[in-house]
Structure 1
Amino acid sequence: MNADALNTTATKIRDHIAAACESDAIPGFVAGIHQGGEQVVVAHGLANVATGAPMLEHTGFLLGSVTKVLTTTLVLQQVDRGVLDLDAPVVKYLPEFGSVSGKILVRHLIGHTNGIDADLYFPGDKGRDALKAYVEGMPSSTLFEPGEQLSYSNGGMIVAGRLLEVVTGLPYPELLARDVYGPVGMTDSSTSAEQAILRSTAVGHFLDLETMAPRPTTMFTLPETWGPAGGTPIGTIADLLAFGRTHLAGGVSPSGTRVLSAGSTALMRQVSFDMESPNTPPIGLGWVLYPFGGTTVLAMSGASPGGVSLLCVIPEHDLVFAAYGNSPGAIMLQDRILQLILTEHLGIELPRLVTGDEQDADLAPYAGTYRSNQLRIEVSVVDGQLEEVITYEPADPSQERIFTEFAGGTTSAPPQRYVPVGPGLFAPAGYPLEAFDGYLRLLLVSYHDVRDGQARFRNGGGRLARRA
């Protein structure tokens, strides 16, 4: 790898970050690339607007759902050791899980094909038994039969975390530190606010609608029950790059430590389910497999209260990209930077994902009410478009408090119009179609499994809701 080429790309990224932080009210941003033995990290802005602490190259941040790839790595370590069987029912190891579904296999948990309807289930339990309490109290309803569909699943990863605790005898945070942080060389990673406060750490921000300025979040982490899904782990760009390099190298860390077998590392990259819809990339185990033309990007993004992280591994080009911004809008900047890396740095031509609209589409099959955990989505046909109204229906005051803090105080949104752009596929009105060529394809909405003139499922952001 030519170091000059990487430094040139880093300069372009730095300019993009500076401009976006100014125009999009992102307090701070940090990003890094590793390719061919060369590594650059750039940082800009503030880690916390209340204190004025700068965002530094080594500033820590919440990994969010990027943790799911770490949890998957932990599960496959136990498969490598013969402790877990991917094709065994979860109840073989967790008998109490049978109240949800005895048909869910271990691979369904880490492949997002489990159907568990608990995506917004936020119990506030703490301590060693937090995950045990989560599994004991989680909703028993499912969205679909295991393996039938694909729906991004926080609940599945949390159950996988509890499964790991049972078979190893260690609490999830201790297991993560021992079997991933340590051997990978994630030297600045931790799993608690108490540890993070001892070093430079960013906090999330939300836009204050009165002052139109960023304000720090009132919630640093999600509850400890959400640890395996990304609620509590904290790390740095260098840590994420080291983890990505481990997967580039077939499971061998930068220091030469074998973290995962080559077979299991490869298995995580293999397609385990494909919805065959532009807004939902194929899934491996842990990794989402984004197709960009003929190039596959292994990716996972992670929302935290007022922040968003991203980890991308591009095996074909021996490249790892990681980024974090402490505002929910940072995902837009991350998407632009990823496309810059793909097109200008790697010379990849990105085909148009959505090519046009469906002028004569029959919208009647998609109208109706769809539900998932604590969400109701009303879909109606208005002026040749679909209009969606999403309502949050908290199960209890505790759930409402946690979700409200996680969302920055805003739990409702105005009706959103969608225009048809393909069979069963819709784009938010007013967006140019090229906006969906990159990571933001997740903004598209699709409908699936039409029976007797009605779609059974709505898919938004990779999450399914079932027709009521």
Structure 2
Amino acid sequence: MLCMTDNALHAVEAQIREQAAAHCESSNIPGYVAGVYRAGEQIIVAHGTANIATGAPMLHDTGFLFGSVTKVLTTTLVLQQVDRGLLDLDTPVTKYLPELVLTAPGAADKILVRHLISHTNGIDADLFFPDAKGRDALRTYVSGLASNCGTLFEPGEQLSYSNGGMIVAGRLLEVVTGMPFPDLLQRDIYAPVGMKNSSTSAEQAILRSTAIGHFLDPETMAAKPTGMFMLPDTWGPAGSTPIGTIADLLAFGHTHLAGGVSPSGTRVLSAASTALMQQVSHDMATPNVPPMGLGWVRYPFGDTTVLAMSGASPGGVSILCVVPEHDLVFTAFGNNPGAIMLQDQMLQWLLSAHLGVQIPTLVTEVEQDVDLAPYVGTYRSNQLRIDVTVVDGQLEERTTYEPADESQERIFTEFAGGMTSAPPQRYVPIRPGLFAPAGYPLEAFDGYLRLLLVSFHDVRDGQARFRNGGGRLTRRI
């Protein structure tokens, strides 16, 4: 293991500052903030503008929406209740939460608590956006599942990134603790971890420096502020409402490095539960879907495992990475979705240049003679349709958003910055069942962007049952 000295941390700070400035300028990203913790020392770098409507600068302590990084916080809350004896991971959720009902009769009864936080629950609700606020928001979400959402697969059968599972977990926490989710997050995560500048509402965030998201104008390619700061309260446990700073996320990451003990020495989670979150709970055995722990996604970089979660918010993207083998935490936020490319570059640079990690090439070659017929067809999940055809010896995918109602369409359209459709995307075969977007160099998939690869699963009678893109499953219809 290499030692990152003070001089090395200075070099990290200088490199992050240089990379951020260059990438933000070339990609029209208004602002960026990142931090690194290593072996008791940390640095934070801020660049650019937090809000171009006001000209407010991005500062070291500027707050931002955590997005789906929240899912690791929610999972930590669940494991706390396991430590306290209030929950059992292998008990059906409906024992604690009888109000959980899906459109498929009896389907909810098969879902165990662990399925919610390992993304193996099968709840087909990834774009279900009920618009509700306040203390009953999660109750409203769960009650809406009964008439709006079914299942993609049997619990434990597959892995599919699940907003719905985490939101149900949030409501489960409310029921077993008797506390609203935001209050529980404040009491049991923010306070003991030392996340002093974290909150769960726009009303709280406006009292201090807070970044907003931005999208690129499709005509001018200039950044423009988002028209929606955050998703509805119903998505709180999946990532809509928590807001904090880089220092706060470094403290949370450090807590998971230290076996559940916060930087101040407070026991936040048992060592056993902290370790359990980091262990493989499900593995799809395909390069584009890393093995899943509980809450954490386990990205393999050669022999080194990076525990990670990224988070999208309206016009912004965050990331939290914990590398236990090297006592390192990396976290960042950029206020344009294109910042995910910069975060991927920084993570790989930290691993290779400063930790000496050998990052192998994930995709070394493509195959020419792959039978494409098993993958052709139409695949669906909640409000999303993907039509797969063969064009010029490649797969071509057309994705269509099919809103359930006006409210769903309004929320998703604002979340996506007005862009709800995309041109057809061609894919070249890497091997049977695995495809890369055409035109990308193969080395682009060595890091976090391996999620751009598409895989097909469970081929029966010459037809694949599932398509996986970005960690999310759609099912053949």
Amino acid at match of 2:163: N
SS class of match (1:31): strand
Aligned to 1:425: 434
1:49 is matched with which residue?
A: 52
2:117 to 85, 100, 110: 110
- List structure 1 segments (4+ residues) > 2 angstroms apart after TM superposition: none
Rounded Cα–Cα distance in structure 2 between residues aligned with 1:341 and 1:54: 26
TM-score with structure 2 setting the length? 0.98
* 1:309 aligned residue: 318
CA displacement, residues 348-399 of structure 1 (integer Å, 9 cap, x when unaligned)? 1110001111100000000000000000000001111000000000000000
Paired residues for 1:211-226 under 5 Å: 211-226=220-235
Q: Secondary structure at the match of 1:102?
A: helix
> Once the two structures are aligned, what percentage of the paired residues are identical?
78
CA shift digits 1:47-94 (9 cap, x unpaired): 011111000011000000000000000000000000000000000001
Q: Deviations over 1:319-341 (max 9, x none)?
A: 00000000000000000000000
CA distance in 1, matches of 2:334, 2:90: 38
User: Deviation of residue 211 (structure 1)?
Assistant: 2.5
Instruction: Name the aligned partner's letter for residue 91 of structure 1.
Output: T
Look up the equivalent residue of 2:335 and give its one-letter code: N
Task: Specify the alignment match of 2:168 in structure 1.
Answer: 159
Q: Give, in whole Å, the separation in 1 of the partners of 2:160 and 2:424.
A: 23
Give the C-alpha shift of residue 6 in structure 1.
Answer: 1.3
SS at match of 1:376: strand
Partner of 1:37: 40
Distance 1:461 1:378 in 2: 16
TM-score normalised over the length of structure 1: 0.99
Match of 2:401 in 1: 392
CA deviations 1:94-123 (Å, max 9, x no partner) are: 111144510000000000000000000000
Q: Structure 2: how far apart are the matches of 1:447 and 1:256? A: 46
2:293 paired with 1:248: no
Distance in 2, matches of 1:13 and 1:410, equals: 30
Q: Which residue is 1:203 aligned to?
A: 212
* 1:9 CA displacement: 1.5
Q: Does the aligned pair in 1 maintain the 2:371–2:432 contact within 8 Å? A: no
Aligned match of 1:144 in 142, 153, 163?
Answer: 153
* Contact residue 456 and residue 466 of structure 2 kept, 8 A: yes
1:128 corresponds, among 135, 139, 150, to: 135
Alignment-mate amino acid for residue 185 of structure 2: L
Contact (CA 8 Å) 2:70, 2:237: kept in 1 or not? yes
Per the TM alignment, residue 13 of structure 1 is displaced from its structure 2 partner at its CA by 1.1
Matched position secondary structure for 2:295: coil
Q: C-alpha separation between the residues in 2 aligned to 1:248 and 1:212?
A: 40
1:298 aligns with 307
- Unaligned stretches of 5+ in structure 1? none
Task: Give the RMSD, CA atoms, in angstroms.
Answer: 0.6
The within-5 A match list for 1:31-430 is 31-99=34-102, 100-138=107-145, 139-430=148-439
> In the aligned structure 1, how far is the partner of 2:149 from the partner of 2:35?
41
Whether the 8 Å CA contact 2:50–2:57 is kept in 1: the answer is: yes
Task: Could you tell me which runs of 5 or more consecutive residues in structure 2 were left unpaired when the two chains were aligned.
Answer: none
Check whether the contact 2:149–2:382 (CA below 8 A) recurs between aligned residues: no
Look up the match of 1:8: 11
Q: What displacement does 1:415 show?
A: 0.3
Partner secondary structure for residue 257 of structure 1 = coil
In structure 2, C-alpha distance between the alignment counterparts of 1:422 and 1:440, rounded to whole Å: 18
